[in-house]
Amino acid sequence: MVKSNDKTIENDYLMSEKTIKIEGVDLVLLFGANNKKFERLSNLFPSLKIIARGNTIKVIGKTDDILFFQQKFDAILKHVYQYDSLTISQLERLILEDEHNILSEENDLILHGQKGKLIKARTVNQRKMVKQSEANDMLFAIGPAGTGKTYTAVALAVRALKQKQVRKIILTRPAVEAGENLGFLPGDLKEKLDPYLQPLYDALLDMIPPEKLADYTEHGIIQIAPLAFMRGRTLDNAFVILDEAQNSTESQIKMFLTRMGKSAKFVITGDVTQIDLPKHQPSGLVLAKKILNKTEGISFVILDERDVIRHTLVKKIIKAFQKPKKEKK
């Protein structure tokens, strides 16, 4: 709950002052440890003087600027009330994003997960993923690690299965990652693949009870397999996700995309900055983005560091690696 009062300060410029009392919110969650989030909030409103004392903040500045601040601060509080979380990235997005780009929060919920957990689209581009997946049968979600593209895609697949829009979920990845060759790993095929496919299992376990997931996998309702296993199949009446698509070759991604049956949904996720293929081997995802981006029925959502929902350092790391490398002298 927020209570506020206004008064006008007479000086050379007509200035206003608003006092806002904050109730029912964890102030450490709102303002951050050592007031890190509050400092960022203040920096985003350079024309205002913002003072925090306990559960009260005082805002001094021009009336229009204060009204804009109030609007954005209300949105921040609403976010905290609803999600019980607030990262600096989310704070920035709530303040900087144009209103017409912020979809209605009533559309944020994708499904109810394990033990009543609410699985939601938590950023603007994750919401775009939801919207574009509903509007098109094939979606490419491209962005750096930590932006929730795979998790959102899995949530959409589980929702489609629960709503009986599809009969099965198929999750796949190219069998090359981080320079490791499956042929040199110990154990049988399942033992080799399970650690590699673990991120997909982790997402599913957030949304489906373990015993039900085991039953689904046993009966082929949910299938998790390397990309090579898709060859020769027609993937119909299924929600199919190709994860880590940047590590597919051009021939592999063509093979995969042409497996699409009449009643299928395809979501392809990847990060073009983390390609683990040999240097001479072009990425299929890069090619697909180039030649399919204007194809009707196929949509592309590009996520960036503002969508990162992991530790705040992840955002800084991504930005640092995006800077052009200096030429070696």
The tokens describing 75, both together, are 């949105």
Q: Is 265 helix (H, G, I), strand (E, B) or coil?
A: strand
Confidence of residue 321 (pLDDT cuts 50, 70, 90): confident
**Of the ranges 100-109, 173-182, 304-313, which one carries the lowest mean pLDDT score?**
100-109
In this predicted structure, the answer to whether residue 43 has a pLDDT above a threshold of 90 is yes
Confidence of residue 106 (pLDDT cuts 50, 70, 90): very low
Q: Which domains does the chain have, with CATH numbers?
A: 2-100 (3.30.1370.10), 109-322 (3.40.50.300)
The tokens describing 15, both together, are 């200035």
* Predicted pLDDT of residue 100: 45
Share of the chain above pLDDT 70, in %: 82
Residue among 229, 225, 145, 232 at smallest CA distance from 192:
225
Rg (CA), the chain: 23
For residue 73, how far is the Cα from the chain centroid?
23
pLDDT in tens, 257-299: 999 998 999 999 999 999 989 889 999 999 999 999 999 999 9
The tokens describing 146, both together, are 């930590």
Q: Which residues contact 127 (CB under 8 A, 6 or more apart)?
A: 103, 107, 108, 121
- State how far the Cα of 233 lies from the Cα of 42, in Å rounded to an integer: 56
